[in-house]
Structure 1
Amino acid sequence: MPSLKHRIIKHIKQSGPMNIASYMGWALLDPTQGYYPTRDPLGVDGDFITAPEISQMFGELLGIWLLQSWRAMGAPKRVELVEYGPGRGIMMGDILRTACMDAAFLSAIHVSLIETSSALEAKQAEQLAECGVPVTWVASLDDVPKGPTLVIGNEYLDCLPIRQFVMKDRFAGRAGWHERMVDIHPDNPNKLVYTISESPISTVDQNLLPRDIPDAKNDDLIEVSAGLGQLADTLAHRFAQDLGAALFIDYGPGETEFGDSFQALQKHKKVYPLDAPGEADLTARVDFAAFAKELERDGLIVYGPCPQGQYLSRMGIEVRAVALTKSAPDAKEKIARQLHRLTHADEMGTLFKAIAVQSTTLPAPIGFSTK
């Protein structure tokens, strides 16, 4: 079988340059050669490590947030607990262990996991085999049974496909934006390169741009994720029918910024995103401001974004670290390193943000300042 890269090159030869979102779709989700369906990318031996794999404290505190959100709903006898991009199932395992603090909460939980990787699905099934609650795998939130719903997602938003637009005529306003595309190198038919569309983007695509976009200079680049808007619509539809609360944690700025953040990670190192599609993880920073505005336009109440370090401190991570140290004194230095990595400004504490969204009738969630 031809490599995924050569299949992409063939497609470009036939159909012309593809946008970044299409390239990400090919590279990450191709059923036979895409990154997610064919491998386990997590851990020391993978391409990156996420917060739940750094420390159990992360998932435990999210478990407390979910418990309090369930209580705020009136402690329904059944609640759908949905996780987007559940990795190896480690975070969900930590959440469910924390749920044991309240037997009624544990018995109410029905877990649904939204996963695109068959390799990771197998790891999740193994990790959660004896978790004590029903677990099913679904393709989307629409497949989850109706009823009160809690949604969680860690480092999920950053893998949603993006498009990149470059300003070429700042005096033309929104009509001055052109799209950054993926094309074949003019002197090397086996190499993929970036190119800029000759024509400005259509009026339809102009509507994808943030409404409060900063004034752009020529050659400024902005990233737009249609997936964020689609997720906002999905959550709004769900939470309009049933009580719901969602919490997402990911990396990105609190306000819309210009600049190219599209990156590829392979074996914990950055590589050129177009070199080996299907063999590296592709992500881009999350535009939390744009996501929040989409959610609010859909009628939901948004809290945050809040820096991860601040959020975890409000949730009591330092207290939890002390308790763990008392029960395992030999692990004191390890626990201190984990705490530092999750909360310090030079590590994940500032770059990563937490954002919560809820049905309009629910009280403000813990961990976030009220507006």
Structure 2
Amino acid sequence: MTAVGKQIREAILATGPISIAQYMQLSLTSPVGGYYTHGQVFGRTGDFVTSPEISQMFGEIMAIWYILHWEMMGRPTKTRFVELGPGRGTLMDDMLRAAKRFPQFFATIQGVEFVERSPELRRVQMEKLGCPKESMESVKDKNEPDTPGSAVSERYGGISVRWHTQLEEVSVESDCVPMVMAHEFFDALPIYKFEKGTSGWSEVLVDVDDSTTTPAPPQTTSARLAGSPHSSASDNSSECHFKFVRSRSVTSNAAVILRDPRFDSRFDKGDHVEVSAESARVMAVLADWVSQNNGLALIVDYGQDWTQGDTFRGIRKHKFANPLSQPGSMDLTADVDFSYLRLAAQGKAKCFGPVEQGKFLLDMGIQARLKQLLQATTDKKVQQDLVDCYKRLTDPNSMGRIYKVLAVLPNGAQGMPIPFAPPSKEELNRPKVEKIVRK
């Protein structure tokens, strides 16, 4: 059993079955071996590939979106990039590199703020942005002497790079426009899972499993593996020490999280729902923060514009894995409920979308950028790779449909951001809930 697995087992034996949210939190961020403390979890040598790791075009298009809206805001003299969950720093590196081609905009960038808990990933991000180690100031924690707190990027003209553990710690000048990016951030936040019964909602919990039977991993789809040549098989090689159980009565989590009447009116007996209370909290903070600082934000993630019930899964080495097997050794994730994010932001900021990633990228001109890159090389293999990456990002059967883009603007913002548009009659009439018929 992994070190995190032992920690989880001890917690369950001490207090009883735990929520999926607590299980995810320990598995991903525990200091005794949580998944995101590993650092090298992204890319082809890691467990999954994100859009920025697929192609530079993704980050370049995102940079163009911010530059266009900077123009629409009247070219403010000070801006600052803020990224939640920056991974290896690839997306920000591509965005800054693209921004350098627009000198007037680039000159306004006062610095970069990363919201990142992992000490290892902070070091990877520092290197990615070309920050020499001698420019680094460590966090003021004697237990983490080599964890970056701030640094200076030589690659990008000496702009400052600062790290924070949560968005509330980020401060910007009153005359500085923050430009926020949250790419594949919300999908890793903890979820709770509930099942509706005859007497109300019970909670699906995680308990110790001392049996010798190893359950198969759930048969589900994953946007992180969409279009991946490695995604055809499941990893069922590890012993499983935990199992799902249902609470015997309504838990405090169910009573608080599902108090919105829509959960009773929209779901029937036997239905499951996954709800991320932490996502709602972070979204409320983000919406408030964007409005107070007159900023703007993009949220890019996989999910739907409605509540789903069975998307929790594990991913290891580009294969599906049982999420209850070997905690700490795999990514744990669930689809984002964009309707829940919009509800959390209501009254605090204006939300636009979500729109499908493929449509967003096409409307923003990714085809023109692909053409430029194809013309810049005569290498047939490089050209084919560029086309393959373009298809993977935009194809509805790959990442183009399941990934969505949501824009967040201040309450006082006028007009609609590019390339968002009011929903069509067809979109308004489209059902917002998809249910799986259980046999």
Counterpart AA for 2:285: T
Residue number in structure 2 paired with 1:292: 342
Residue number in structure 2 paired with 1:252: 303
The 5 Å alignment of 1:249-328 reads 249-257=300-308, 259-295=309-345, 297-328=346-377
Q: What SS does the corresponding residue of 1:333 show, helix, strand or coil? A: helix
Task: Give a deviation string over 1:269-318, Cα, whole Å, max 9, x none.
Answer: 111111111110000000011111211x2331111110110111111111
Residue number in structure 1 paired with 2:228: none
* Alpha carbons 2:274, 2:307 under 8 Å: kept: no
The 5 Å alignment of 1:9-158 reads 9-109=9-109, 110-129=111-130, 130-132=155-157, 133-146=159-172, 147=174, 148-158=177-187
Q: Cα distance 1:217–1:186, how it changes in 2: closer, same or farther (>3 A)?
A: farther
Shift in Å at residue 229 of structure 1?
A: 1.2
Counterpart AA for 1:117: S
- 1:339 equivalent to 2:411? Answer no
* Alpha carbons 2:19, 2:192 under 8 Å: kept: yes
The 5 Å alignment of 1:155-234 reads 155-169=184-198, 172=199, 176-185=200-209, 187=211, 191-202=241-252, 205-208=255-258, 211-213=261-263, 215-234=266-285
Runs of 4+ in structure 1 off by over 6 angstroms are none
Cα distance in structure 2, aligned partners of 1:141 and 1:275: 31
Residue number in structure 2 paired with 1:240: 291
Residue number in structure 2 paired with 1:369: 421
Aligned length: 364
Cα distance in structure 2, aligned partners of 1:320 and 1:209: 47
* Alpha carbons 2:194, 2:254 under 8 Å: kept: no
* Alpha carbons 1:151, 1:245 under 8 Å: kept: yes
* Alpha carbons 1:312, 1:367 under 8 Å: kept: no
Q: What SS does the corresponding residue of 1:76 show, helix, strand or coil? A: coil
Counterpart AA for 1:155: E
Q: Cα distance 1:279–1:332, how it changes in 2: closer, same or farther (>3 A)?
A: same
* Alpha carbons 2:291, 2:409 under 8 Å: kept: no
Q: Cα distance 1:245–1:208, how it changes in 2: closer, same or farther (>3 A)?
A: farther
Shift in Å at residue 52 of structure 1?
A: 0.4
Q: State TM-score, norm by structure 2.
A: 0.79
Shift in Å at residue 79 of structure 1?
A: 1.7
183-192 or 69-78, larger mean C-alpha shift: 183-192
* Alpha carbons 1:253, 1:285 under 8 Å: kept: yes
Counterpart AA for 2:327: P
Cα distance in structure 1, aligned partners of 2:347 and 2:95: 29
Shift in Å at residue 2 of structure 1?
A: 7.2
Q: What SS does the corresponding residue of 2:26 show, helix, strand or coil? A: helix
* Alpha carbons 1:208, 1:226 under 8 Å: kept: no
Cα distance in structure 2, aligned partners of 1:155 and 1:95: 16
Cα distance in structure 2, aligned partners of 1:215 and 1:181: 23
Counterpart AA for 2:202: H
Shift in Å at residue 187 of structure 1?
A: 4.1
Task: Give a deviation string over 1:219-265, Cα, whole Å, max 9, x none.
Answer: 211000012211222123212322011101111112223x2110111
Cα distance in structure 1, aligned partners of 2:98 and 2:104: 12
Counterpart AA for 2:337: D
Task: Give a deviation string over 1:186-237, Cα, whole Å, max 9, x none.
Answer: 6469821100000113487344465533632222110000122112221232
Task: Give a deviation string over 1:12-34, Cα, whole Å, max 9, x none.
Answer: 11111100000011000101311
Q: What SS does the corresponding residue of 1:299 show, helix, strand or coil? A: coil
- 1:348 equivalent to 2:399? Answer yes
Q: Cα distance 1:159–1:321, how it changes in 2: closer, same or farther (>3 A)?
A: same
Q: Superposition RMSD on alpha carbons, in Å?
A: 2.0
Q: Cα distance 1:216–1:340, how it changes in 2: closer, same or farther (>3 A)?
A: same
Q: What SS does the corresponding residue of 2:43 show, helix, strand or coil? A: coil
Cα distance in structure 2, aligned partners of 1:2 and 1:49: 24
Q: State TM-score, norm by structure 1.
A: 0.93
Task: Give a deviation string over 1:99-124, Cα, whole Å, max 9, x none.
Answer: 11322321222110111222221111
Cα distance in structure 1, aligned partners of 2:352 and 2:50: 23
* Alpha carbons 2:257, 2:277 under 8 Å: kept: no
Q: Which structure shows the bigger proportion of residues in helix conformation?
A: 1
Cα distance in structure 2, aligned partners of 1:74 and 1:347: 37
